[in-house]
Amino acid sequence: MSDIVYGRNPVYESLRAKRRQFHKLILAEGIRQGDTIKQILSLANQAGVPMEWADRDTLDGLVHANHQGVLLRASGYPYVGLYDLLDAAGEREEAPLVLLLDLLKDPQNVGTLIRTAEAVGVSGVVIQERRAVGITASVVSASSGAVEHLWVAQVTNLANTLSALKEEGLWIAGLEAVEDAQIYHKADLTGPLGVVVGSEGRGMRRLVRERCDFLIELPMRGRVASLNASVAGSVALYEILRQRQVKADR
């Protein structure tokens, strides 16, 4: 599998993370060599990545998105196995925190949420292989490259994965505004935890919801009934970090 990473931050983070094989760096002729571009050139040089200059039209032909004049041909996204992710989580001193996405379809939402997940320091992210967006170039871009540093596992069946995580001692919290959900900040989120975010519009699938140990929701005080999925997930992730920091400070 080969892939194109595009945009200044995504290419910079990909080269910094060193988790893909890099085939070629392509830069737009006449690109302004600001700080990030200089760092990209230096990292590519150190790693012995072949470089090529091309005109903007050639780059536009390769990527139909805002590439900012920087393209990196590389191997596909380096998914990890679920148990590698959990093993790595177990080696850290803090309680594991895994983010699970149930059939999210919008690359912008997935990338934005993954960027937050990286910022709060989750152990890893789990997505389902079929019927959901994978870690495509658009997701890498929307994550501003953060996903290059994160451990992401792709699984065949998310509901079964929840059972496997429970056997490993994680509690599973589903984020959904339903009647029996608790207000998110009233739930104890400091232990080993998996958090499930449902898809835009439809929420979690029934089989996924049923395997959650408890449901949490954000209070809604306006006249519009829902939040953007990546915002709701991000607010929940930051509340988990807040609770853990408060507990650690005690």
* Pairwise CA distance, residues 219 & 86, whole Å: 31
Compare residues 58 and 190 and give the one whose CB is closer to a second copy: 190
| Smallest distance from a second copy to CB 23, Å | 23
CB of 115 to a second copy, least distance (A): 6
- Interface map 78-117 toward a second copy (x if CB under 8 A): ------------------------------x---x--xx-
Give me the least distance between CB of 232 and a second copy, in Å please.
Answer: 9
Q: CA separation (Å) from 152 to 65, 67, 77, 147, 233?
A: 24, 24, 9, 8, 16
Residue 178 as a binder of a second copy (CB under 8 A): the answer is: no
Using an 8 Å Cβ cutoff, are 187 and 228 in contact?
no
Range in contact with a second copy (rule: CB under 8 A) among 12-20, 30-38, 99-107, 151-159: 12-20
End-to-end Cα, the chain, rounded Å = 48
- Write out the binding residues for a second copy, residues 190-229 only, by CB under 8 A: 218-224, 226-228
Q: Does position 141 bind a second copy by CB under 8 A?
A: no
Q: Is 241 in the site for a second copy (CB under 8 A)?
A: yes
- Could you tell me if 36 and 45 are in contact, meaning their C-beta atoms sit under 8 angstroms apart? no
Instruction: Find the shortest distance in angstroms from Cβ 45 to a second copy.
Output: 21
CB-count burial class (<10 Å; 0-12, 13-18, 19+) for 227: middle
Q: 134: buried, middle or exposed (CB in 10 Å: 19+, 13-18, 0-12)?
A: middle
Contact pattern for a second copy over residues 13 through 42, marking x by CB under 8 A: x--xx-------------------------
Q: Which residues contact 9 (CB under 8 A, 6 or more apart)?
A: 36, 144, 145
- Three-state SS for 53? strand
User: Under the rule (CB under 8 A), what is the footprint of a second copy?
Assistant: 9, 13, 16-17, 108, 112, 115-116, 118-121, 144-146, 149-150, 183, 185, 218-224, 226-228, 230-231, 234-235, 238-239, 241-242, 245-246
